[in-house]
Structure 1
Amino acid sequence: MPERDLYSWTLMITCFTRSGELERARELFDLLPDKGDAACWNAMIAGYAKKGQFDDAKRLFDEMPEKNLVSWNSMLAGYTKNGEMQLGVKFFEEMPERNVVSWNLMLDGFFEVGDLDSAWKFFKKIPDPNVVSWVTMLCGFAQNGEIAKAEDLFEQMPSRNVVSWNAMLGAYVRDHQIDKAVKLFGDMPERDSVSWTTMINGYVRVGKLDEARQLLNQMPYKNIAAQTAMMSGYLQNGRMDEASEIFNPISIRDVVCWNTMIAGYAQCGKMVEALSLFRKMINKDIVSWNTMITGYAQIGQMEKALEIFESMGERSIVSWNSLVTGYVQNGLYLDALRRIVKMGQEGKRPDESTFACGLSACANLAALQVGKQLHHLVVKCGYVNDLFVSNSLITMYAKCGRVVDANLVFEDIKRGDIVSWNSLISGYALNGDGEEAVKLLKNMLIEGVNPDQVTFVGVLSACSHSGLVECGLEIFKSMTEVYLIEPLAEHYACMVDLLGRAGRLEEAFEMVRNMKILTTAKIWGALLGACRIHRNLQLGKYASEKLLELEPDKASNYVLLSNMHAEASRWDEVERVRVLMKESSTEKQPGCSWIEIRNHVHAFLFDDLAQPRTAELSSVLKSLTTEMRNTSYISTPYD
């Protein structure tokens, strides 16, 4: 510029502060030859305040040679927009003069921190509230679910603009009061794109998709937000073709529109279509990439999920968690733990979701030492009071056989939920301590926590493992008669196992016959296991036939039946089951074992030649087996 005036300098300072480049803004401010106008000071103060640098903002504010009302409001906005309401109130009280903007800033600040009472007190003190004051108060009530108060305020408004009508409309939609929303929409003197979009979204929320589509067709000017809301409704209900009908004709799509359609395909498992759209998308954001990772993980294609992950330029914590969650969901627990380690090496700080997934992996691997390390990290990162993480810790310690430690975590939880109680009850069940599980159920009732279906599965399983037959029968009866919980297949499986282990096979079979729900493989499996223990071949054969009807391709069912015949020395039947197993083309999955040594989990897959020293390990194992056979009698149906 050949010459610059004060306006040029102030404009440049404002541009830098609004884009967050405060150092460059301050350089210009310091170089400014004439700082006599308050506008450049106000721009700099607003920049510092917006970034939460209150000390710098206040220092500059105090240095100002002459302050105007904009200066005071700029400083006040810094406090209120950053949730610093104590400082904001103090500053507001020190202001030599205030206008309606000052009062509105305070209202908005109180709503940001969820303090409705203080907001209402301030609103009533405003000398001359304008339409922004009324709308701010109305939106505050609406967004916090205070519909009745919002209605009263709406009726009291001296004048209403389209924003106030939209605020009330949005309140009804969020509260699923669709009939009131429809009436209000019909009464509106004027409507803008927000009005139409809000109403369409309202119909979508309550599942009235045909009404939403009808309204979209009536809309005088098509709006990308309204079209995306309609697409979202169709996708949530699996109506992919109709969603495509909306999506395909849209000429200019924003990133939300693209992501909505990609997520729809991903949620339905149609990853070919999702990938096709993903590749066509020009301005992909991090949500687009994360959606693809989650989609591939949901259908078990973790190699492709990893491929997408590795192709990302920038990864958020959600990206890492999507991959780790995918590994856990697909039983790849070692990969999940390795990825968490890699995450730390790249300087990414884990969050509650990361820890929950990592602890779940440790629980399934019974990797106690790694689980303990994660527990230390949980404490270090400040998530020790997170309920989600605490519940995962209970499960991890319980599955690693450390139910005492699980109980310590449970006792440290300030406000446990039903998941906390269920996790510990399941932990006692898993470790065969039925009495403690039953005791915990009683404590749960004393604390006023109502048990759910999962609770009773845990308690009944604990009774089964501990042989508490009468106690289990009594609890099962109370579940149906006192708590009015309809038994699921899991409850019946526990009861069949409970009666079966006690040798009461006829009662168990009678319970299965009188069930009101369809039998499952777990139920017949429990009965077959009991028959094997008590050598009831006749009932065992019947149970096995039913089991093989439901799971003809599961090798473990054939093995269980074969072992049962082998224990009775019925070798012809053993051979027949082997033939059946081959005819069904069932192949037993390779066995996998793991061991934790010096905080490292080592996995061993059956016949895995890639494993170092496999041949040497096999040779040593064969030598040991030979030595055992030479020194003692080993009864083995199979070699």
Structure 2
Amino acid sequence: MRRTDASSSVRLIRRLCIEGKLSEALPVLEDIISRQKCPISASVFLDVLRGCFRKKDLEAGRRVKFLIIKCGFESDLLLGNHLIRLFSAGGNLSEALQQFRNLPKKDEYAWNTIISAHVKHKKGRQAIELYHEMVLSTVEPDVFTYAVVLKACASIASLGQGRVIHFHILSRGLEHDPLVGNTLVDMYCKCGRLVEARQVFSNLPKRDIVSWNAMIVGCVQHKNDVEAFQLYEQMQDEGMKPDTVTYMFMLKACGNMGALDQGRLIHINLTKSGLGKDRFAGSNLIDMYVKCGSLDEARQVFQNIPNRDIFVWTSMIAGCAEHGLGEEAFHLFQGMLSEGLKPDKIIFVSVLKAFSSIKALDWGKLIHAHILEKKLESDIYVASALVGMYARCGSIDNAHKVFLKLPQRDIVVWNTMIAGFVQQERGQDALNLFERMQKEGMKPDNFTFSSIFKACGSILALDQGKFIHKQLEESSFGFDLIVGNSLLDMYVKCGSIDEARKVFLSLHNRDVVTWTSMIGGFAQVGGHAQEAFVFFKKMQEEGFKPNKVTFLCALKACSSVSTLSYGKLIHAQLIDNGFEADSVIGNALVHMYAKCGSIDEARQVFLKLPKRDVISWNAMIDGCAQQGYGKEALHLFEGMRQNGVVPNEATFVSVFAACSHTGLVSEGYSLFRYMHKNLGITPDMNHYACMVDLLGRAGKLSEAHSFILKMPVQPTVVVWMSLLGACRTHCNLELGKLSFASILKLDPSNAAAHSLMSNMYDLLADQTVTQSQIVR
């Protein structure tokens, strides 16, 4: 082949590479080399490698590498560096590293390229190891090397290595280089060392926008928003104009702090700077206004963005989700679809969150259909949101179906499913799932343990709770306050107050929830009311302010032991804390005073209630009934009906008790019929027992027995015990024996029944002796 033809072939190869026609250039190059038509220079290979790099074509690069070796250029440093660059850019880090190792000689570019490639591929630790290898070689790191390896330290938050490299930089006098200085600031910020970052920042002879942004971004990411604002003002005082990055992170700082006024000022400055027109700025503005609680201003920003992209829609939909506006979120979702935008998984998660907050199950199902259409149901992130939506909307079986279809499950979706079972009061299902997750190799975390202790408490599974408690203690990570509170509450619900106390004492940090659970436990378990008062006092001595639930638990303790003096002290504190007008607290006060026998004070609280609901009336009626004020209880019942409050099952238990104490048999019968026929309340065993007690107290024992036999449900021990008690009072041995026999069929070891029967025989024996003495 003539030299002119060979030259034209080389020019053709170069032209094809420039035009991006790599697939046409390579055969020409291979043909020239295979036929040995002309010698190929390294510069030709360089042009072809650049073409491979532009297309990220690794296969073509491998073909070129083979030709380079064939032509004897394997030791060429420039070609070797370009091969490293190509393989790392194409995602094959191992091949890039192999190419690097094969270089007989390495320069700064080769080291920087391979270190940079490891950082890009999130191999920070390996990048740092390569840096130390470079330091031991004959090649000195340059400013680019330091910048890259500091990024590696930042990526894995390796403060120790960062400080070592900082020392190397100081020893070479490069700390004032802008690139190195800015990267040092960023490294210290990423490692959470804002003080050291500030020192480097302050020592920079000249600070550019990158320096300021690195410092501001670091402060915002570590929730030091006040310092971010100080830096923001300082940079402007020094004549440095904020850029898009500055404004975006300052908006995040405003959102973090809920600083609406400052956010508005930054919005104004952003608009004036001309940087506020893009969609990225719009989505950040929406996010800031949402977090500051101003959804109207978020809507205004949203409406003013001309070409809304997926990020803008996501921000607005997420904002609605944050504020529980499920309907608006759904309409936005439809609007987004009508504009031709395709929802991504973040959109789906936001919409599902919104529907969860308002329990919009039907809309959730519609979104599920879209998710199936997009084949995203197996995505962990989306699936967790779906499971959570179904669980919170009460459709736990649908949640479980989604869960079971997942090819892989992370800890979040396991926790979501377990928590869903707990929320729907399916504690045993939660425990079964907890066991299964461990069999499948998934380790529980604090959230899992918190949920599972709630499950144990809900079904009174004390033994399982103790076993899981032991499992938690043997785990490596220990437990936090939330788990501690859940564990304590589990023991309280299971009635194991001593175990609850041990957990309480083991907690180094306690909050109001901890103290309240313990006080509630003492109030719930018989014989511990005095300890409830001691803890209530100690809690306040240690600086904890009781909340509404704490006060309710303390009042319950007063009611259980009829301790009026403590009740009055708590009442005074309630007034001081502004709780007196609360209807739930008011009802508890009425109940407490009534239980303590102070009907007058119960009445005073009752009359002061801003709104009296069925619970308020029931507390007052029950108090009067229990304290023997039967007629007043019935008078209150009439007042309740006149005030338009509909009685419930509990009301009639108290009313029947009032009739029983006052011997108003006909009134009791009349109310029993009224309850069933007029209000549609199906009598339960408590109502039947009350009616038997009413008849028995009035001495109508045969009628009481007949009432039992006519009951549409099988009488329980409680019903028969009411009759047996009346038989003992009226010395009716025949009916007493019948009642006693019925009780023994249901509960052969009932000690109370045996005691009553024995007392009846003793009483009849005494009466017989007395009568014989009279006859004599």
TM-score, scaled to structure 2:
0.63
Partner of 1:595: none
Question: 1:486, CA displacement in angstroms?
Answer: 0.5
Write out aligned runs for 1:174-323 (5 A).
174-177=359-362, 179-188=365-374, 190=376, 192-201=379-388, 215-216=402-403, 218-232=405-419, 236=426, 238-239=428-429, 240-241=431-432, 243-265=434-456, 267=459, 268-269=461-462, 270-283=464-477, 284-323=479-518
Q: Structure 1's 511 and 413: CA in aligned 2 closer, same or farther, altered over 3 A?
A: same
Q: Structure 1's 482 and 40: CA in aligned 2 closer, same or farther, altered over 3 A?
A: same
Q: Structure 1's 72 and 222: CA in aligned 2 closer, same or farther, altered over 3 A?
A: closer
Q: Is the 8 A contact 1:172 1:181 kept in 2?
A: no
CA distance in 1 between counterparts of 2:661 and 2:206 reads 85
Write out aligned runs for 1:454-473 (5 A).
454-473=650-669
Letter in 1 for 2:503: I
Q: Is the 8 A contact 1:398 1:424 kept in 2?
A: yes
Q: Structure 1's 41 and 247: CA in aligned 2 closer, same or farther, altered over 3 A?
A: closer
Letter in 2 for 1:278: L
Question: 1:57, CA displacement in angstroms?
Answer: 10
Partner of 1:426: 622
Q: Which has the higher contact order (CA 8 A, sep 6+)?
A: 1
* Equivalent position SS for 1:364: helix
Structure 2 portions without partners, runs of 5+: 1-165, 770-776
More helix by share: 2
Write out aligned runs for 1:121-136 (5 A).
123-136=302-315
Q: Is the 8 A contact 1:324 1:354 kept in 2?
A: yes
Letter in 1 for 2:517: S
Pick from 499, 506, 511 the counterpart of residue 702 of structure 2: 506
Write out aligned runs for 1:614-633 (5 A).
none
Bigger Cα displacement from structure 2, 341-350 vs 106-115: 106-115
Question: 1:488, CA displacement in angstroms?
Answer: 0.9
Letter in 1 for 2:384: T
CA distance in 2 between counterparts of 1:514 and 1:62 reads 89
Bigger Cα displacement from structure 2, 187-196 vs 168-177: 168-177
* Equivalent position SS for 1:391: helix
Question: 1:93, CA displacement in angstroms?
Answer: 7.0
Bigger Cα displacement from structure 2, 76-85 vs 241-250: 76-85
Question: 1:484, CA displacement in angstroms?
Answer: 0.5
Question: 1:365, CA displacement in angstroms?
Answer: 0.9
Q: Structure 1's 538 and 346: CA in aligned 2 closer, same or farther, altered over 3 A?
A: same
Partner of 2:349: 166
Partner of 2:316: 137
Residue deviations 1:159-210 (CA, integer Å, cap 9, x gap): 2222113333445564333643542331125453211223344565678777
Bigger Cα displacement from structure 2, 38-47 vs 190-199: 38-47
Bigger Cα displacement from structure 2, 453-462 vs 30-39: 30-39
For this pair of structures, how many residues does the alignment match?
Answer: 570
CA distance in 2 between counterparts of 1:517 and 1:208 reads 33
Pick from 607, 610, 616 the counterpart of residue 414 of structure 1: 610
Aligned: 1:7 with 2:182: yes
Question: 1:285, CA displacement in angstroms?
Answer: 1.7
CA distance in 2 between counterparts of 1:53 and 1:552 reads 75
Bigger radius of gyration: 2
Q: Is the 8 A contact 2:216 2:232 kept in 1?
A: no
Partner of 1:152: 331
Question: 1:362, CA displacement in angstroms?
Answer: 0.9
Structure 1 portions without partners, runs of 5+: 574-639
Q: Is the 8 A contact 2:524 2:557 kept in 1?
A: no
CA distance in 1 between counterparts of 2:472 and 2:352 reads 35
Question: 1:489, CA displacement in angstroms?
Answer: 0.9
* Equivalent position SS for 1:238: helix
Q: Is the 8 A contact 2:388 2:399 kept in 1?
A: yes
Residue deviations 1:370-401 (CA, integer Å, cap 9, x gap): 11112222233443344443332221111111
* Equivalent position SS for 2:361: coil
Write out aligned runs for 1:54-65 (5 A).
none
Question: 1:153, CA displacement in angstroms?
Answer: 2.0
CA distance in 2 between counterparts of 1:510 and 1:492 reads 12
Q: Structure 1's 234 and 90: CA in aligned 2 closer, same or farther, altered over 3 A?
A: closer
Residue deviations 1:271-318 (CA, integer Å, cap 9, x gap): 342233222322222233223323333333222222222222222222
Residue deviations 1:221-266 (CA, integer Å, cap 9, x gap): 4322223334456672524445412322224543323444454455
Question: 1:75, CA displacement in angstroms?
Answer: 6.1
Bigger Cα displacement from structure 2, 96-105 vs 458-467: 96-105
Identity %: 28
CA distance in 2 between counterparts of 1:28 and 1:417 reads 65
Partner of 2:520: 325
Letter in 2 for 1:526: S
Residue deviations 1:123-175 (CA, integer Å, cap 9, x gap): 43445544333223334445666554433321210322221133334455643
Q: Is the 8 A contact 1:375 1:393 kept in 2?
A: yes
Over the aligned positions, Cα root-mean-square deviation in angstroms equals: 4.2
Letter in 1 for 2:737: K
CA distance in 1 between counterparts of 2:640 and 2:268 reads 50
CA distance in 1 between counterparts of 2:197 and 2:549 reads 39
CA distance in 1 between counterparts of 2:346 and 2:238 reads 37
Q: Structure 1's 502 and 53: CA in aligned 2 closer, same or farther, altered over 3 A?
A: farther
Pick from 520, 527, 544 the counterpart of residue 716 of structure 2: 520
Letter in 2 for 1:124: Q
Partner of 2:758: 562
TM-score, scaled to structure 1:
0.75
CA distance in 1 between counterparts of 2:398 and 2:233 reads 57
Question: 1:492, CA displacement in angstroms?
Answer: 1.5
Residue deviations 1:528-583 (CA, integer Å, cap 9, x gap): 3333443433323333333454455454444433334444345899xxxxxxxxxx
Q: Structure 1's 130 and 55: CA in aligned 2 closer, same or farther, altered over 3 A?
A: same
Q: Structure 1's 372 and 14: CA in aligned 2 closer, same or farther, altered over 3 A?
A: farther
Letter in 2 for 1:227: W
Q: Is the 8 A contact 1:368 1:400 kept in 2?
A: yes
Letter in 1 for 2:465: M
CA distance in 2 between counterparts of 1:105 and 1:401 reads 61
Write out aligned runs for 1:527-566 (5 A).
527-566=723-762
CA distance in 1 between counterparts of 2:397 and 2:744 reads 45
Partner of 1:584: none
Q: Is the 8 A contact 1:45 1:57 kept in 2?
A: no
CA distance in 1 between counterparts of 2:677 and 2:182 reads 80
CA distance in 2 between counterparts of 1:321 and 1:193 reads 37
Aligned: 1:474 with 2:659: no
Q: Is the 8 A contact 1:182 1:199 kept in 2?
A: yes
